[in-house]
Amino acid sequence: MLLLRARILGGLTPGGPTGTAYDRAVGGTTLLLDREDALDRVTDAPVDVLVIGGGITGAGIALDAATRGYHVALVERADLASGTSSKSSKLIHGGVRYLEQGDVGLVYEAARERERLRRLAPHLVRPLGFVVPVNSARSSVLLRLGLIIYDGMLGLRNVRRHQRLGPAAVQDAVPGLRRGADHGGYLYVDCRTDDARLTLAVVQRARRMGAAVANHTEVVELLRSGDRVVGATVRDRLSGAERDVRARWVVSATGVWADRVRGLAPGRGAGWLTPSKGVHLVLRGVDVPLRRAVIVDSGARDRRRVFLVPWGEQVYVGTTDEPHGGSVDEMRLDPPEAGYLLHAVNASFGTTLALRDVVGAWAGLRPLLRGQQEAASAASKDLSRRHAIFEDPVGLVTVTGGKLTTYRQMAQDVVDRLAAADGNRRRCVTSRIALGARGTVADGLGRARAVARTWGVGDDVAAALYARHGDAAPAVLSACIRDGEAETLVPDLPYLVGEVRWAVQHELGRTLDDVLQRRTRVSLRHASAGGAGIDRAAAVMGTVLGWDDAERQRQVDDYLGRVRAERGVVPLRQIETLRS
């Protein structure tokens, strides 16, 4: 263990010609004890709050509680954001959809949180224009009316007012579109994010505020004193070691696994949740040319809408929303889901895309509360996107439901509840706590570009690093240069080899899967999930974590096995034979 710590921290010697940006980051990072130290810390002394689950909700709770003076531990059984929080549509919604359902409260809440997140994490929450083509005068009038009301309601919280587009402007924004825009369309602006990195940014901030965070650490038992839950037994899934963590409060932010965690308490068998599955496909941008995101009809009898979002050289399309009866541990894309999305794209774009054209895919589960799903399918799929907080048994607080967009409010609601019970009068301050970037995007980009230029590195690389790392971008780049790892990991994707090392040393990346699926999004954006970059990443990680050849191979096999399982109907072998 000591050797591992020395290796992980060993790369932290300041270096680079200017030293400044890197030194600052090193100064900050050495304060962040690594995963192994975090585990020691939480077993040595009881904590106030033990958060189970390192998705966006658990991350938000850890940050909120830490800022209110609580001693916090967060444990995640797999990797940070490895549950639903890396499988979302990656949108920070302003709530325009909820207007259709007349849920004004949800519109306000979503818009308010979107604005906050744009301010707190400007590098990760960026405006994204959506084109909504219209095919009849009636739908044009209805949509216009809705957007006027939406703009009026949001006022200063709006990213930008909607815009009417003629047929030529729609064509210009979505050159590939062949159908559905006889009457032009509308442009409204929402926001996009990288869900896994947003979760990481919140976790990093919580760690800076003193929270002890351990990924690959599973709660396997709840500790009890009489009727009260007073902690948990956790298993380090990397070493197999088990230890007890005592806590005054245990908060389960375990999404679709919430029933299982609650079931660890005797007599709590009946489930609250009924998950709903949503899948996305990644396509090549050249196959579906678009400059803006676009919302099109599914072309199926359900008359739902499907969106396509440009993502560098790729485009992703989503999503489905169907009850999921199987195990919550096994997520894979099934043939009807892939068929549904491909049909929607082909119907609108006049293409003949098939499975062989799919670059990547992901599948996620929404934790819907029992009873709400029926209401959701009867009226609108989005009725059930609110969150719920329960305390049962005493000492175990469960929060589930909600959205990526509103995670901060969910966390505030949970910690308000703990604080009220404790008589803690400190108020929530997370709406003012920056998440990895200060100031405007222009300022942050300017700083990243200035450092990149001193190294002779292009503005595009600086911009890509800023989008992922915010104010740490100059430090990341300096580290990549110092280690001779500033080349791209996978051709045509914006990730640098040195980001792999950075992920281990600074971002709790411990498995190849952590790094290629969530610190970077290589697994989603490359037909063979990274190709030769997979071995390169394993080699870099191996030098930091001390992997021998057998362990490197095991990591590669495990990673590919997981990608293959999730892609399901789009097997890697088939993808590898795609035309280049």
From the list 310, 306, 307, 305, the residue with the least C-alpha distance to 290 is 310
List the one residue from 29, 67, 88, 511 that touches ligand FAD (CB under 6 A): 88
- Contact between 365 and ligand FAD per CB under 6 A: yes
Q: Are 49 and 72 in contact (CB under 8 A)?
A: yes
Give CA separation, 16 vs 23, 163, 475, in Å.
9, 47, 9
Question: x/- contact string, 245-284, with ligand FAD (CB under 6 A)?
Answer: --------xxx-x---x----------------x------
Q: 244 vs 535, which CB is nearer to ligand FAD?
A: 244
Q: Cα–Cα distance between 269 and 500 in angstroms, integer?
A: 42
Find the shortest distance in angstroms from Cβ 129 to ligand FAD: 16
Q: 365 vs 537, which CB is nearer to ligand FAD?
A: 365
List the one residue from 71, 93, 324, 510 that touches ligand FAD (CB under 6 A): 93
Q: Cα–Cα distance between 502 and 516 in angstroms, integer?
A: 13
- Contact between 78 and ligand FAD per CB under 6 A: yes
Three-class SS string for 456-485? CCCHHHHHHHHHHHHHHHHHHHHHHHHCCC
Continuous H helices in 263-389: 335-349, 372-378
Find the shortest distance in angstroms from Cβ 75 to ligand FAD: 5
Stretch that binds ligand FAD, among 79-87, 178-186, 304-312, 458-466 (CB under 6 A): 79-87
Find the shortest distance in angstroms from Cβ 414 to ligand FAD: 11
Beta bridge partners of 191: 92, 127
Q: 471 vs 514, which CB is nearer to ligand FAD?
A: 514
Find the shortest distance in angstroms from Cβ 128 to ligand FAD: 11
Q: 237 vs 447, which CB is nearer to ligand FAD?
A: 237
Angle at alpha carbon of residue 504, lines to 88 and 254, rounded to 5° = 35
Stretch that binds ligand FAD, among 36-44, 66-74, 88-96, 170-178 (CB under 6 A): 88-96
Written as six digits, the tokens of 256 are: 């679709």
Find the shortest distance in angstroms from Cβ 451 to ligand FAD: 32
Residues 294-353 that bind ligand FAD (CB under 6 A): 319
Residues 38-67 that bind ligand FAD (CB under 6 A): 52-58
Question: x/- contact string, 202-241, with ligand FAD (CB under 6 A)?
Answer: ----------------xx----------------------
Count, residues near ligand FAD per rule CB under 6 A = 37
- The DSSP code sequence of 134-175 is --SHHHHHHHHHHHHHHHHHHGGG-SS--EEE-HHHHHHHST
Find the helix or strand (DSSP H, E) in which 557 lies: helix 549-567
Written as six digits, the tokens of 259 are: 């029933």
Find the shortest distance in angstroms from Cβ 402 to ligand FAD: 5
**What backbone torsions phi and psi does residue 330 show, to the nearest 5 degrees?**
-115, 105
Find the shortest distance in angstroms from Cβ 175 to ligand FAD: 25
Give CA separation, 406 vs 41, 63, 92, 278, in Å.
31, 14, 9, 19
**R_g of the chain, CA atoms, integer Å:** 23
Stretch that binds ligand FAD, among 292-300, 352-360, 400-408, 506-514 (CB under 6 A): 400-408
Beta bridge partners of 244: 233
Q: Are 419 and 68 in contact (CB under 8 A)?
A: yes
- Contact between 511 and ligand FAD per CB under 6 A: no
Site for ligand FAD, rule CB under 6 A: 52-58, 75-78, 82-85, 87-91, 93, 218-219, 253-255, 257, 261, 278, 319, 364-366, 402-405
